[in-house]
Structure 1
Amino acid sequence: MMNASKIELRRSLLETRLSLSRDVWRTKSNIICHHLQDSTLFTQAKTVLAYFSFRQEPDLSPLFCLPKRWGFPRCLGDTLSWHDWTLGDELEANGYGILEPKIDAPRIEPAKVDLMLVPGVGCDRSGYRLGYGGGYYDRLFSLPEWQNIPRIGIVFDLAYLSTLPRDVWDFPLTGLCTEVGILRSTDNKLL
């Protein structure tokens, strides 16, 4: 059963995020991109998994022209598969309205991934994230082949909380990036 406090918190954080003006959203997103570009985890990564901004999530698209192998998720049933995408490749909207690479785009296997940039509605100081409630990322993180890949949660600082309600199936992130900087989830120090 879904934790009622998660539902209420999700609604509140989404309302706050969606209330940001377009200019503030763009500015905060650009600052997050600059923090990522300056991070060693990002600069050393060859294959990066990311997301296309949905419901005013931080927009990472300014990074997508950088010379990396970029992968983006496709929802397949109740799981995520990751597919190559290069700037200019065609996209399609899934049932939630989220943009995805075409189904025939080459898949990316976990062994090839150096870094995951993970969207969230909120994150806490221990590295736990609050998503939209579908469990896609937690199911992915529970698989052994995905557990050792560095994963950085991407949220605006307004969604960085001291603690979030947790369920037994929630998996922590390696770190978090907001417009304030990049933090390691274990000790809240800058990465």
Structure 2
Amino acid sequence: MEKANLRRSLLKIRQMLPKSEWQEKSDRICTHLKSSSLFQEAKTVLAYFSFRQEPDLKPLFNDFSRRWGFPRCVDDSLAWHLWQPGDELETNKFGILEPLANAPILDPSQVDLILVPSVACDVRGYRLGYGAGFYDRLLTLPEWSNKLTIGVVFEFTYLVEIPIDQWDRSLTGVCTETGVKIINKFLGEQLNNV
């Protein structure tokens, strides 16, 4: 199945999840992330605000032991801004919440972990995004290409294989409501040697 059809099909299924099931699965994802060594060792984490029934990560954001960064769409790229609960947000042209433009910007060197929103991920660590290429472009930039990344999806969108293009990059791991799966062994080994 081509990317566009697969994306459309999976988004439709995700939108049909009952609110209570969506929240329960989201809460379990947060629990697994909190207990993951990738997350526990990260001091600065990039995340996202849930949109169109993506897994809801809000329970994580009250953890003041780490710094949180969230994206702002700037033309065809993402700028990462510091954010903490209570800071003001605005809605961008896609309908997604983002920090205000005057919020402090995070330098890539400060970032330890990126929680990547995804429509689907596969067992090889490849993700199916929303089609605009924001994360694809980000993760190929030299200053971002070696960051630890976890795709966040519901288990029904953790697939054996998704179609990939030459620019797609495998993530370090994937988190669903059943747990965190480390995919990229090299980065996982690097983490264990820290």
Q: Please indicate the TM-score interval, normalised by the length of the shorter structure.
A: over 0.9
Q: Which amino acid aligns with 1:33?
A: C
Q: Which amino acid aligns with 1:72?
A: F
Query: Contact 2:121–2:162 (CA<8 Å) still a contact in 1?
Result: yes
Q: 2: distance between equivalents of 1:145 and 1:31?
A: 31
Q: 2: distance between equivalents of 1:71 and 1:137?
A: 14
- By how many angstroms is 1:140 displaced? 0.3
Alignment correspondent of 1:156: 154
Q: 2: distance between equivalents of 1:28 and 1:108?
A: 30
Note if 1:60 corresponds to 2:57: yes
- By how many angstroms is 1:148 displaced? 1.0
Alignment correspondent of 1:103: 101
Note if 1:33 corresponds to 2:53: no
Question: Does the residue aligned with 2:2 lie in a helix, a strand or coil?
Answer: helix
Question: Does the residue aligned with 1:15 lie in a helix, a strand or coil?
Answer: helix
Q: How does 1:104-123 map to 2 (within 5 A)?
A: 104-123=102-121
TM-score in terms of structure 1 length: 0.95
- By how many angstroms is 1:186 displaced? 3.7
Q: 2: distance between equivalents of 1:181 and 1:33?
A: 10
Q: What is the root-mean-square deviation in Å for CA atoms of aligned residues?
A: 1.3
Q: Which amino acid aligns with 1:148?
A: N
Q: Deviations over 1:48-80 (max 9, x none)?
A: 000000000000000000021000000000000
Gaps of 5+ in 1: none
TM-score in terms of structure 2 length: 0.93
Q: Percent identity?
A: 58
- By how many angstroms is 1:184 displaced? 1.1
Q: 1: distance between equivalents of 2:177 and 2:168?
A: 24
The aligned length equals 186
